A and B are shown apart, each in its own frame.
Chain A
Amino acid sequence: MTNPNTSISRVSYRLLRGRPSPLVTVDLFHDHQQVNLEAYVDSGSYYSIFLADVAEALGIQVQAGRLTYLAGSHGQFFALHLDRVGIRIADHRFTSEVGFSSQSGIGFNLLGRYSIFNQLRFCFDDRHNVLDISQYHG
């Protein structure tokens, strides 16, 4: 049985058009490259989706990644290429398989469940507009 780490990082929601929203600052690492960006923690999204530009900054060949297809809530399909990267959120570091796409049609980067939510535990506190993050070990 795994227990969540006792170290909990608390992040205040960011205001997007006046709406408090769970955005976190994420560092991505790949091949001695690092980028720092904000990502929307989306528990409804299966995969994490980062913009293709992010892959380019990390030196990742997007087309070389494992290809999968996603369906959006409006029924549209788009290609997603999965690659393994290093991630740091607060003091939590781990590797994860995330997707890169230039076709998602949204400006935000999304942190989805696959390969992320099994390593980090997110507690959405919409009453106080804070997000608690802790890391599983073992």
Chain B
Amino acid sequence: MTRAKAKTVRETRVAYRARPVRPRARRAARPRAARQIAQPVISVSARQAATWQQSLRWQGWLNEHAREFEEKNPGQYLAIWDEQIIATGNTWGEAYKAATATRPDVIPLVTYIPRAEDVPFLLTPFPVEWVK
């Protein structure tokens, strides 16, 4: 190595060691809660909804099995998809949540199976201002 080249190498090393060093930023810790709740979310556009023709067919199917359901599930809500019961519940929300857990890819039809005492006593609500 020539003297000139050795001098250049020395100067380069000195310049490299003297370079300004930026302090390394610490990576922010990922929030643990965010990882825990990260679940696959299916947007409503990705969930299949029943067409009107399907709904009519399912209503016919419900009529055909009305007596059977009224015996087995009085006062319950049934979540229906493709002429099948995919979930039941004692409240609308219960049936809907169970159906969404079973079939997250579809929007089920949730219907009420009346008890014997329900039908004759349907409310006819009117605004309270109309009451004498």
Contacts and interface: CB of A to CB of B under 8 A. Distances in A.
Contacts of A46: 125-127
A19 B96 CA distance: 26
A51 to B, nearest CB: 5
Interface range on chain A (Cβ under 8 Å from partner): 35 or more
Contacts of A128: none
A97 interface: no
Interface secondary structure of A, over-half rule: strand
Given A11-B56, A25-B52, A32 B126 contact: no
A104 B125 contact: yes
Interface of B: 43-45, 47, 49-50, 52, 55-56, 58-60, 62-63, 66-67, 70, 75, 77, 91-94, 96, 107-112, 114, 116, 118-119, 121-128, 130-131
Contacts of B43: 32
B113 to A, nearest CB: 8
Sorted nearest first, the 5 A-B pairs with minimum C-beta distance are A53-B93, A44-B124, A25-B55, A70-B125, A69-B128
